[in-house]
Structure 1
Amino acid sequence: MAVTSNYYRLLNLESKQEAILSAAEVKQAYRRALLLYHPDKVTIEPGKSDVTVDDIALAYKTLADPTLRAEYDDWLRTVVEAGSLTSSTPRPRHTGLETVDLDDLDYDEPTGKWSRGCRCGDEKGFMVSQLELEQQANEGEIIVGCKGCSLWLRILFGEEE
């Protein structure tokens, strides 16, 4: 699942997005966000937020590391300058990402979908349709998440001539 907000917004550091952040400031913001969104200490009405502790941890890891933060800031500026997206647009994040070829998936003729089992036990955890492949034809790859867990699969493919 992708983060639902940008990392600065998630850690309530939007006002300091262009500023130099100390490790202590990022850590303090991380702890505040954990308290706000932690399932055992939820101060937000259940079901009103899809922010997870993993999202917060990733935001902290990214903003606390100067190299990762620089890459994230570059990505964020590029997206905003493109005009098609806003600064609140989530950056895709994929934990447990495995790369495979489309030929490694099973094709189901009646449904027209490719599938693959996941290690979580879901026999058709990863599914992709012809339409989804066509939409990503220029990329030559598609990333799909497992229906039963948080794992992701990068599926590489090419058009047949």
Structure 2
Amino acid sequence: MPSVRSEARLDYYEVLGLDPSQRSLKPEHLKAAYKRSLLTHHPDKQRSERSGHSAPSIDTIALAYKILSTPSLKSVYDQSLAEQNSAQPGSDKVFHTGLDTVDLDDLDLDEASGVWTRSCRCGDDKGFQVTEAELERNVEDGELITGCRGCSLWLRVLFGVGDA
């Protein structure tokens, strides 16, 4: 499972040679950038004298393409970049955002309140919360992404609408 992350030295837009200020990327431009980056950074094309330059790995390039080509993952990634850019200058604070995928059936339903919950690894027993209204807003996608209320982790919840 890819994790959506943003680190000071790792920018998926830069990995693919794209301008991060251009938020709406056409699929054909993104795919061309992906292929260009693969060709540029392929291990067989690297020279030994460039050993001081750390080129992204093929796995990093593939992950960058997956995240930037998947609308929900791109949205979370762009948000983490915005958070990183809004950090105070000179701050050593680095934002790490994790994304796990689960099925709605993996969450606990509190029938009295109509809220599904799941514990988070940060220790919050009900860190992730999903309401019926959120499910209804995302019914066409069959998934929603929600953040933990106690940390920076994210949860993608997959669900289907059954005929009742």
1:73 Cα deviation (Å)? 7.3
Q: Which amino acid letter does the alignment assign opposite residue 64 of structure 1?
A: E
Does residue 138 of the first structure (1) align with residue 140 of the second (2)? yes
Determine the structure 1 residue equivalent to 2:11.
61
Determine the structure 1 residue equivalent to 2:24.
76
1:110 Cα deviation (Å)? 1.0
Q: How well do the aligned residues superpose, as a CA RMSD in angstroms?
A: 2.8
Name structure 2 gaps, 5 residues minimum: 27-73, 81-96
How many angstroms apart in 2 are the aligned matches of 1:68 and 1:98? Answer: 27
Residue deviations 1:26-60, cap 9 Å, x none? xxxxxxxxxxxxxxxxxxxxxxxxxxxx86738x6
How many angstroms apart in 2 are the aligned matches of 1:117 and 1:92? Answer: 20
Determine the structure 2 residue equivalent to 1:107.
109
Determine the structure 2 residue equivalent to 1:153.
155
Q: Which amino acid letter does the alignment assign opposite residue 146 of structure 2?
A: V
How many angstroms apart in 2 are the aligned matches of 1:98 and 1:112? Answer: 22
How many angstroms apart in 2 are the aligned matches of 1:147 and 1:68? Answer: 34
What pairs with 1:34-53 in structure 2 (closer than 5 Å)? none
Does residue 92 of the first structure (1) align with residue 94 of the second (2)? no
Name structure 1 gaps, 5 residues minimum: 1-53, 79-89
1:63 Cα deviation (Å)? 3.6
Report the CA distance shift for 1:68/1:135 in structure 2 as closer, same or farther (over 3 A).
Answer: farther
How many angstroms apart in 1 are the aligned matches of 2:148 and 2:17? Answer: 26
Calculate the TM-score normalised by the size of structure 1: 0.50
2:8 aligned counterpart, secondary structure: helix
Calculate the TM-score normalised by the size of structure 2: 0.50
The percentage of aligned residue pairs carrying the same residue is 47
2:124 aligned counterpart, secondary structure: coil
1:155 Cα deviation (Å)? 0.2
1:145 Cα deviation (Å)? 0.3
How many angstroms apart in 2 are the aligned matches of 1:104 and 1:147? Answer: 18
1:99 Cα deviation (Å)? 0.3
Q: How many residues matched?
A: 94
1:74 Cα deviation (Å)? 7.2
